Amino acid sequence: MVVAIVLTLGMAATSAQDTRKSTSGICHSDGESPYYDRLKYFETYENFNDCFYPDGRSRQFDDRIPEYNRRYFGTGWGDVDGDGQNTRAEVLIEQSLAPVRLRENNKNLVDAGKWISIFTNEEIYNANEVDVDHLVPLKWSWDHGSYKWSYEKRQAFANDMRNLAPVEKSLNRSKGAKGPDEWLPPINRCGYMLRFIRIYKSYGLQLSPDEQEDYNFILDDVCGR
């Protein structure tokens, strides 16, 4: 009975309704989300804002940030240049200090190389021991303004090589979605901080006044300003 109701909502979509909310609560806009036409069960909305705020509140007058979901930045690593190798593989190939070895059973995946972690300066040779880190985390960007972006811009951000670095899995996962006011690497802190700031500013992401004060203090501390 519930499935039938949801299906009816989906079937009732008209050309005036350009946003669909999946049963998992994700909003997909026509022309922005590649999953828009694939949804079988969904509710329809006239625009993306109504999907995020179905009670009628306007984003312009509501400073609440919608709940983060990784899928708003694409489903995993993209293949930007369409060569079969996703962004993780591209990063590992480009940033390896030695010729990489590709997997025997899948030449689009990297098996080994030589990477220097920017978090520790340690050498890593096994690709299975590497995480490709978003220096400015996706959720951090969401909380600082990327929730207002189009799906395409968020997907481009998630695959931006300037924001990606091969590092130890353990450190990447301890960092999580934290910014520099909550987490800094064991070494190279000044370089990490400067790169983080350069990236978020290039995308127009915004700090709160308290965060800006904290970041200035951290810069003074780790960069000796």
**Does 69 lie in the same domain as 55?**
no
- If you average pLDDT over residues 114-127, what whole number do you get? 98
Task: Tell me how far apart the alpha carbons of residues 54 and 67 are, in angstroms, rounded to a whole number.
Answer: 14
Domain end marker among 64, 97, 115: 64
Question: Does residue 209 register a pLDDT over 50?
Answer: yes
Helix/strand/coil for 58: coil
How do residues 129-172 score in pLDDT, each as one tens digit?
Answer: 999 999 999 999 999 999 999 999 999 999 999 999 999 999 99
- If you average pLDDT over residues 203-220, what whole number do you get? 94
Query: Which residue range(s) make up the domain with 33?
Result: 1-64
**Does 126 lie in the same domain as 33?**
no
Task: Tell me how far apart the alpha carbons of residues 28 and 104 are, in angstroms, rounded to a whole number.
Answer: 38
**Does 190 lie in the same domain as 156?**
yes
**Does 71 lie in the same domain as 29?**
no
Residue 63, pLDDT score: 58
**Does 186 lie in the same domain as 89?**
yes
How do residues 59-95 score in pLDDT, each as one tens digit?
Answer: 433 457 899 999 999 989 999 899 999 999 999 999 9
**Does 204 lie in the same domain as 167?**
yes
Question: Does residue 58 register a pLDDT over 50?
Answer: no
**Does 127 lie in the same domain as 30?**
no
Strand partners, 22: 42
Tell me how crowded residue 51 is: count the other CB atoms within 10 A of its CB. 23
**Does 108 lie in the same domain as 216?**
yes
**Does 72 lie in the same domain as 44?**
no
Residue 207, pLDDT score: 94
**Does 167 lie in the same domain as 216?**
yes
Residue appearing with tokens 């931006």: 160
Residue 21, pLDDT score: 81
Domain end marker among 27, 44, 64: 64
Task: Tell me how far apart the alpha carbons of residues 135 and 179 are, in angstroms, rounded to a whole number.
Answer: 9
Q: How many domains does the chain have?
A: 2
**Does 47 lie in the same domain as 72?**
no
Domain end marker among 23, 40, 64: 64
- Helical (H) or strand (E) element with 200: helix 189-202
Residue 17, pLDDT score: 57
Among the listed residues 46, 213, 184, the one whose alpha carbon sits nearest the alpha carbon of residue 118: 184
Question: Considering the chain, what percentage of its residues have pLDDT values greater than 90?
Answer: 69
**Does 125 lie in the same domain as 18?**
no
